[in-house]
Amino acid sequence: MGIYALMFALGALALRFMPVVPALWVQGVLAIAVCMLLFTGRRHAPLLAVAMLGLCWSAWQAQNMLDQRLAPELDGRVIWLQGRVTGLPQWQTDGAGQRHVRFELEDAVSRRGLLPPRIRVSWRNPPVIQSGEHWRLAVFLRQPDGLLNPHGFDYVQWLTARRIGATGSVKAGEKLEDGTGFAAWREQVRSQLLQAMAGHPASGGVLALTVGDGSSVSRQQWQTLQDSGTVHLFVISGQHVSLVAGLAYGLVVLLVRVGGWPQALPWLPAACALALGSAYAYGLVSGLGVPVQRALIMVTVVLVWRLRYRSLASWTPWLLALALVILLDPLVMLQPGFWLSFAAVAVLALVFTGRIGRWRGWQILLRAQWAVAIGLMPLLLATGLPVSWVGPLANALAVPFVSFWVLPLVLLGLLLLPWPVLSSPLLRLAGDSLQGMWHLLDSLVQGWPAWQAALPAVWILLLAAVAAGLLLLPTVLRPWWLPLLLLAPLLWPPPRAGVPVGQARVWLLDVGQGQAIVVQTAAHALAYDAGPAMGGMDVGESQVVPFLRGEGIQHLDRLILSHADADHAGGAGAIMAAVGVGQVISGEPLRHGHWQAQPCSEQAWQWDDVRFRQWQWRAAGNGNAASCVLLIEAAGERFLVTGDLDVAGERALLQAWPQLRVDWLVAGHHGSRTSTAQFWLQQLRPHSVLISRGRYNSYGHPHPLVLTRLAHNGIRLYDTAHDKALRIDLGARQPLWTMGQKPAFWR
């Protein structure tokens, strides 16, 4: 049975690495081939048939999801719709004190057209919204879209995994019906928990452990959890569900051992039933999210396997759980948590299965943390996730503390919620314990942030995976030097294929309504602008910093901030905190005095046979016009970026540099009509213009007049809103490459 489960899973998971979903006729051919293989009578034909069946299943499910996305004719329109709030709304307050809520709608309907089954929306300064309520809303609808940069978070992939077919922002709304049933009960539980934990700094942790609501965990607390590798403790998943089931199972076993269990009642079925019931009850309270569903399936398989008196040392339960999870929802393959959770269980099974001798509790705990840290490292590197240096130690302390002290307190407090006098002290004790744990984790990660390495080559990752597997085996089964030899390319990677002398690699990152450019030469790196930081979201931290770390850029020789507007300079603080910066240049140095920014004086320099030149309009009357201009020339090929320089500034620049010609031009002010004049284009004669902007920005960028000018001059347009991150190998005279060209079936 296990081999068939494995083949089905492998066939289904193959879709994850395909650029497109196989066409319907291809799926039909595969289905016919499955039938033919089943009747051939050959020994291995059924295995191949099951694998092909898995591929057909995942392809069919993925295509159904893509077909249910928002229709193009409704994209970017405000329409009235009705729907039911599902899950717990996620409340947040930004730096300006404004309240935001994000929630999902199910069964949405509109007279304007067919809507996706699930929609994710946000609402600024909204009324009270609770789970299960029916609302009539005016929503600005959008097709699934998001920022896309190398080594960054793929929002569209996340939406697809959750089967969300559209996003939107609410403009107005009215409640049609109060929430009822289970959804309203969960909302009431959250309200009671918030009331019991009112004002407590660790209230977010308690909510995360009970109802699965992590929105109240502060940004700093999340950062501490990430740097210490303990995020999994506050995302309800297999560990929590398994622990609840284990506590219930252990209670029956304890009664049996002390003689308190009725001999007439078989203890094993009762233990399995109580464990399963407890796990499902906890899963319901937490909202039955995808990780919880995955954990419940695994717990169910293990308990049924145990009920049949089968050995848990077999890999069959793991394979059956894997196949069942994929059967219920193949799109979980798009979630890193799916791969990490099954890999973690596999690592623990490999370490603890078939070992001779009895291990003590502290040995089991330390070996488990060491094994998971070693076993998951290649997978973390392959998926671009950060690796915590102090993870094994932090988990060795935090896992038993949360599992055997905090979680029981929280669950007991949850059960006693109808009696606040009893529940409130327990919940606040759990909160105090969590706050103490956060202080301990803060001290551990002080100066040791999570490490996000540049993506290694495939062959290095494969060697690292083999080395991790060998390290997990008993010492007698492997020579000590072999894993170290295999890990050597990861610990001391060979030099990356860098930028040749005389060329520059220019990245115009996808940062939405803002701008961030990274330039690399053979031995130097420069950033021009840092991305926006507005409304509580710092794109410099979420997009630019992961890109720099993923590309192996640990030091910027120069950070140029064109001017001080938040859409250009907002992310500078996060960048300077993450990587070393040699010199900060600003078009408005007085507004960046806290960074000891130097003024944008007109100067020229050369790095690795690549020429750079700065300029600023001294007669500028505002911050936009004072933008620092940068010209880069490599092997005669030129790239020009002017920040938010206006038409008058463009005229002044041409007077200062009368013979200026460029190949690549970044449109000024994100394509606004105040820049990129006709005389400017005629003088510069670029063959391509690049625009950095948000797809649904409220400014109307790029302006139709600018687009008309580009078309009139025969200039090719590249737009980060559609093309995503853009890369130019300046000096190579090669076509521009975009992240939009990177194939993935969900985009």
Can you tell me the distance from the alpha carbon of 281 to that of 293, in angstroms, rounded to the nearest whole number? 12
Secondary structure (DSSP) of 600-666: ----EEEETTEEEEEE--TT--STTTTPPEEEEEETTEEEEE-TT--HHHHHHHHHHSTT---SEEE
Mean pLDDT, residues 393-401: 83
User: Residue with structure tokens 């004790």?
Assistant: 429
* C-alpha closest to that of 276 among 255, 240, 254, 304: 304
Among 131-135, 215-219, 281-285, the range with the most confident prediction by mean pLDDT is 131-135
User: Residue with structure tokens 């009539």?
Assistant: 136
Average pLDDT, the chain: 87
**pLDDT value of residue 476:** 63
Instruction: Provide the 10 A C-beta neighbour count for residue 288.
Output: 16
Of 44-58, 352-366, 482-496, 619-633, the one with minimum mean pLDDT is: 352-366
Mean pLDDT, residues 290-317: 74
Mean pLDDT, residues 200-225: 83
Give the CATH fold of the 504-741 domain. Answer: Metallo-beta-lactamase; Chain A (3.60.15)
Write the CB contacts of 507 (distance below 8 Å, at least 6 apart in sequence). Answer: 150, 517, 518, 519, 547, 725, 726, 727
At 239-259, the pLDDT tens digits run 778 888 888 888 888 888 888
Q: pLDDT band for position 68 (50/70/90)? A: very high
Q: What angle do CA 251, 256, 261 make, to 5 degrees?
A: 95
**How many CA atoms, within 13 angstroms, populate the side-chain half-sphere of residue 649?**
26
**pLDDT value of residue 675:** 95
Q: Is 462 exposed, middle or buried (0-12, 13-18, 19+ CB in 10 A)?
A: middle
Q: pLDDT band for position 742 (50/70/90)? A: confident
Q: pLDDT band for position 355 (50/70/90)? A: low
Top-confidence residue, 494 or 672: 672
**pLDDT value of residue 96:** 66
Of 78-82, 378-382, 636-640, the one with minimum mean pLDDT is: 378-382
**pLDDT value of residue 560:** 97
Query: Which amino acid is located at 746 in the chain?
Result: W
In percent, how much of the chain has pLDDT > 70?
A: 92
Residue 175: pLDDT above 80?
yes
Mean pLDDT, residues 366-382: 75
Going from N- to C-terminal start, the domains of the chain cover 2-67, 77-139+157-179, 206-445, 458-491, 504-741
Q: Are 690 and 660 in contact (CB under 8 A)?
A: no
Residue 41: pLDDT above 70?
no
Instruction: Provide the 10 A C-beta neighbour count for residue 481.
Output: 8
Task: Give me the CATH code for the 77-139+157-179 domain, please.
Answer: 2.40.50.140
